[in-house]
Structure 1
Amino acid sequence: MPQGTMLEGKVVVVTGAGGGIGRDIALQCAAQGARVVVNDIGASVSGEGGDAGPAQKVVAEIVAAGGQAVANTDSVSEVAAAGRIIQTAMDTYGRIDGVVNNAGILRDRFFHKMSLDEWDAVIKVHLYGAYYVSRAAANHFKEQGSGAYVHMTSTSGLIGNFGQANYAAAKLGIAALSKSIALDMMKFNVRSNCIAPFAWSRMIGSIPTDTPEQQARVAKIQQMTPAKIAPIAVYLASDAAKDVNGQIFAVRNNEIFLMSQPRPERSVHRSEGWTAETVASHAMPALKSGFYGLDRSGDVFTWDPI
């Protein structure tokens, strides 16, 4: 494990850190000098079950490499439990400097077949979870006059994807949550940014591999290891990123993207105002060339990762 000092003296909470992207972020935070709270409930990708083993195993890896870490197995989806995650940092290390909201589950289903439970469970872990954990840290950040949030969003929400209305809604909500935190807390020297990761993990292990084309696609995705995401997460949690706030980045193998945020594209005006008829005859024909297609993430990121 390469050693550095970018996070020396800092305490960082990483949720969903028992495997995948979260594990690599926890490992690299520790390698850069942070004391890490490794949170993971040890559940399946769909959120069932619980096993203290994954979080404790990552802690053991960090300690074996000479770092400091403590395990926590509370759920981000319940407000009291999320509070205990942050309290673990306070009780163990006496402070909190960074929060990486990485915990997530999937319950993919086409919208017209999606159940209330499939909707609710995903929103609770991703959107409520990011809010609960962030809110629990907010007063500590305010009082000490510093802190950094790193949230995981997704191109499924920023762009679109099939069968993920629950996940996409939560992930786009997280991008708005992050921007609001950045605006509300910048006066306390607190920053909030998002990462949309491309990486092979359990979360996307259900992608079908029935055809040669699908197998080739999965083979490419498998090259995008979780370790590729960790460097920017470590950077965003560090003081080196003191001027980076309210941004959305995407990471795909060796590429880092700054993602756009919604802004007006074009406008059309009538001095006498609009009727439904003139909207149909004037406004829509004038605006139509700027309409967005029904793109999915794969339609926008069409080239092979470097």
Structure 2
Amino acid sequence: MAEFLRGKVVAVTGAGRGIGRAVALACAAEGAKVVVNDYGVGIDGSAPTSEVADEVVKEIEAAGGEAVAVADDIATMAGGERVVRTAVEAFGRLDGVVCVAGILRERMLFNMSEEEWDPVIATHLKGTFTVFRAASALMRKQGGGSLIGFTSGNHQGSVSQPNYSAAKGGIISLVRSAALGLAKYGVTANAVAPVARTRMSANVPMELKEIGAPEDVAALVVYLLSDAAHEITGQVYTVAGSKIAVWAQPRELRAMYAEPGSWTPERIADFLPGTVGVDPMPMLAQLEAMAKAAAAKDRPNA
């Protein structure tokens, strides 16, 4: 092992299973001391148990590493703060946080209830904020650190997961805000959009052409946490098996101008379609292809 993370302390949320577990194990294998956080819930956020976090700690210790478990709900401020405080109490510092924890409650927008919206936003978006908030205050004083949020390609939009999609889009904006606000303190912030075989991806109603294992994602996370990536910040990376891709930064594509106060709906109708136009939405074309495949009783590809 190159021990990319020798001497570092890393906290990972959602670390009891899937990608979070792979990240925690990889960080430990690369020399980090690890705080393993997992509330231990089902995919829908129900039935919490601390056993999954404890089991990952045992795996790390059996391999000769050091780790502690925190079975806390990071959707609360107290839970996020406890993850950071545990790192300091156990290991004296905190160099990186990786927020993987998430749940799903799928429903079409017109049928979605508040009870299906709130927990998903709370776990993904607020859960990233609570840990980032506590960790950034500490890292600012330390003079360095790494914040990594987990997003998804579904931040572009989702037919049956508007709650999840909104949360993942929010995480990207939070990461970019953290990158801007913390750069002068030596703290980086990035997001990872994984495509990997997990209990969540098992429910995707299509064949994914590009998909890998949780360990592929963990390798990228280890790199982003390391000193080798100290100049990378404000980025969103997809990792899908053998592919790593970077997403574009938001920017204006085209513009049109009028004299101040001179726009009217009629003038906009004359100029906007041909001058500013639209930016095509790839997901719409994908939906059409999926509908055709479903009509042919075939499993669609994506």
Using the size of structure 2 for normalisation, the TM-score is 0.91
**CA-to-aligned-CA distance 1:35-62 (integer Å, 9 cap, x gap):** 0001111100110011111111111111
CA positional deviation for 1:91: 1.0
| CA–CA distance in structure 2, aligned partners of residues 20 and 61 of structure 1 | 14
1:202 aligns to what? 199
The aligned counterpart of 2:36 is 38
Q: Which of 275, 278, 281 lines up with 1:293 in the alignment? A: 281
Figure out how many residues of one structure are paired with residues of the other and give that number.
289
Distance in structure 1 (CA, Å) of the matches to 2:152 and 2:204: 16
Cα drift, residue 200 of structure 1:
1.4
Specify which of 239, 250, 253 is matched with residue 251 of structure 1. Answer: 239
Aligned partner of 1:211 in structure 2 is none
Structure 1: segments with no counterpart, 5+ residues: 209-213
Cα offsets for 1:88-132 (capped at 9, x unmatched) = 111111111100011000111100000001110000001111000
1:285 is displaced (CA, Å) by 2.9
Q: How far apart are the structure 2 equivalents of 1:267 and 1:296?
A: 24
User: TM-score under structure 1 normalisation?
Assistant: 0.90
Deviations 1:226-275 (A, max 9, x none): 11101110111111101101111111111000101210101122346311
Paired with 2:226 and 2:285, the residues of 1 have a C-alpha distance of 29
Question: Which residue does the alignment assign to 1:280?
Answer: 269
Q: CA RMSD in A?
A: 1.9
Counting only pairs closer than 5 Å after superposition, residues 190-229 of structure 1 correspond to structure 2 as 190-208=187-205, 214=206, 217=207, 224-229=212-217
Change (3 A) 1:225 1:14: same
Which secondary structure state, in structure 2, belongs to the residue aligned with residue 179 of structure 1? helix
Amino acid at match of 1:88: T
AA aligned to 1:234 is: V
SS of 2:271 mapped into structure 1: helix
Correspondence list, 1:26-65, <5 A: 26-65=24-63
State the 4+ residue runs in structure 1 displaced beyond 3 angstroms: 296-299
Give the superposition deviation at 1:161: 2.0
1:187 equivalent to 2:184? Answer yes
Q: Which position in structure 2 is the counterpart of 1:235?
A: 223
Aligned counterpart in structure 2 of residue 82 of structure 1, from 71, 80, 83: 80
- Does 1:136 pair with 2:134? yes
Distance in 1 (CA, whole Å) between partners of 2:243 and 2:282 is 24
Identity of aligned residues (%): 42
Task: Deviation per CA, 1:22-79: give whole Å up to 9, x if none.
Answer: 0011011001100000111110011001111111111111111111111110011011
Residue 193 of structure 1 aligns to a residue whose secondary structure is strand
Report the equivalent of 2:171. 174
Q: Is the 8 A contact 1:162 1:296 kept in 2?
A: no
Once residues 298 and 107 of structure 1 are traced to their aligned partners in structure 2, the CA distance between those partners, rounded to angstroms, is 22
- Counterpart Cα distance in 2 of 1:207 and 1:291: 26
Alpha-carbon contact 1:86-1:96 (below 8 Å) kept: yes
Other-structure match for 1:106: 104
Q: CA deviation digits over 1:122-174, x for unaligned, max 9?
A: 000011110001111122101110110011011101x2221111111111111
Aligned twin of 2:293: none
- Give the partner amino acid of 1:199: A
* 2:104 is the alignment partner of 1:115: no
Q: Per-residue CA shift, 1:193-245, capped at 9, x if unaligned?
A: 0011101111222234xxxxx4xx16x57x52111101110111111101101
